[in-house]
Amino acid sequence: MLKRNFIFQLFALVILATGFTAITKADVRFVSGRSALKIPFKLYNNHIYLQVGVNNSKPFWFLLDTGAPNIINDGNAKTLNLKLTPAGQTSGVGENSADVSLAENVSFTLPGTVYKERKVAVVSLESVEECANEIAVDLQGKIALRKQPLKGDEHQPIDGVLGDAFFKNLVVEIDYAAQFINLYEPKTYRYPGAGKVIPLELTDNHIYVRAPLKASKQSSVNGRFMIDSGSMLALILNRPFIEKNNLLPPKEQTTAFDVCGIGGYSKTQIGAIENLQLEKLNLGSLVTVFSQATNGVLTRTDFDGVIGNAILRLYKVVFDYSRKQMILESTSKK
């Protein structure tokens, strides 16, 4: 029996339910002052997992994901006896759709802060969790299929997601090397460091950057890329962008993989590009996923690809939606 090659992706969840796409002002309360500092996380498979209480519950494992809304896994929502309202369907990286419900007036508790949201998406994450525990990814975003899926204590649950609304209501600083985040009140936040400021475009609750990309033996082309801390990879390119600019490497230089996420599976080829430049930062050769999708978000033309955690983790990153900027601070020792 042939094993299926796949990559886990949760990014770019698009809620189709009327009235949910607009992010409202959340209620954020800090235990002390206007920040919550050194909140620990687990960095596993290039994903950030936080321990989060829901409505004063025991802690659950939540992904920190700029490419998705706030989500509670439907199984956990039922365990917590949340009142659910059907709200249509959602699409993600896969080529199909999934049912979505809404839970109202939900509180999320992290060390040093309580964050309350008026509406939260409830989606089944079981297949996504299963997918994530069957692969391994290295620091550069290279993918390998595990001989056996992780089980028992090694199995990593995905109970929910802290996503775009969380980021829009707070300044979020991620220290990948030390494995903690800092949360700040946006109004009073002032960045004290010397990192590179990258302008952000905010559209439909997602964040994007403009950047030139160079493939082998090709001239540089400019692209619009989603920044997605929920992606374990370095770079994904959408199929229309690939075809328009003839970016797909020769067949002998790529490997076929299936991307797995909300909405099922989507076909891709894994290869590399020569360079991606963020402002004055040249990122060099990157493991790249070239989408071959016929449906789903990877066929969209309003953005050209996705920059993920295999790049972001090279820096200390500050997401400041209020000022429409991302700050990348080098962590390399001189």
Residue with tokens 């209480």: 53
Does residue 282 form part of some domain?
yes
Is residue 31 located within the same domain as residue 163? yes
Q: Which of 188, 217, 249 represents a domain boundary (last residue)?
A: 188
Secondary structure of residue 19 in the 3-state scheme: coil
Write down the pTM of the prediction. Answer: 0.90
Q: Which residues contact 154 (CB under 8 A, 6 or more apart)?
A: none
Q: In Å, how far are 233, 246, 322 from 228, measured between CA atoms? A: 9, 24, 17
Give the CA angle between residues 269, 11, 274 to the nearest 5°.
40
Does residue 38 form part of some domain?
yes
Is residue 164 located within the same domain as residue 55? yes
DSSP-assigned states of every residue in 251-303: GGG-EEEEEEETTEEEEEEEEEESEEEETTEE--SEEEEEE--SSSGGG-SSS
Is residue 173 located within the same domain as residue 275? no
Is residue 100 located within the same domain as residue 208? no
Does residue 326 form part of some domain?
yes
Does residue 1 form part of some domain?
no
Residue with tokens 């525990």: 133
Is residue 33 located within the same domain as residue 128? yes
| CATH number of 152's domain | 2.40.70.10
Q: Which of 155, 188, 221 represents a domain boundary (last residue)?
A: 188
Is residue 37 located within the same domain as residue 68? yes
Q: In Å, how far are 123, 126, 283 from 86, measured between CA atoms? A: 10, 19, 43
Is residue 238 located within the same domain as residue 290? yes
Number of structural domains the chain divides into: 2
- Count of Cβ atoms closer than 10 Å to residue 263 Cβ: 26
Q: What is the pLDDT, as a whole number, of residue 90?
A: 65
Amino acid at 13: L
Do residues 243 and 258 make contact, with C-beta atoms less than 8 angstroms apart? no
Is residue 46 located within the same domain as residue 70? yes
Is residue 235 located within the same domain as residue 89? no
* Beta-bridge partner residues of 12: none
Q: Which domain holds residue 225?
A: 196-330
Is residue 172 located within the same domain as residue 30? yes
Cα distance between residue 4 and residue 127, in whole Å:
14
pLDDT one digit per residue (tens) for the chain, 334 residues: 333 444 445 443 444 333 344 445 679 999 999 999 999 999 998 999 999 999 999 999 999 999 988 999 999 999 999 999 998 876 555 445 678 899 999 999 999 999 999 999 999 988 788 777 777 788 888 877 777 766 777 789 999 999 999 999 999 999 999 999 999 999 999 999 999 999 999 998 899 999 999 998 788 999 999 999 999 999 999 999 999 999 999 999 999 987 666 556 678 999 999 999 999 899 999 999 999 988 878 899 999 999 999 999 999 999 999 999 999 999 875 4
Is residue 30 located within the same domain as residue 145? yes
Q: Which of 188, 219, 245 represents a domain boundary (last residue)?
A: 188
Do residues 135 and 128 make contact, with C-beta atoms less than 8 angstroms apart? no
Cα distance between residue 35 and residue 29, in whole Å:
9
Is residue 94 located within the same domain as residue 180? yes
Do residues 279 and 326 make contact, with C-beta atoms less than 8 angstroms apart? no
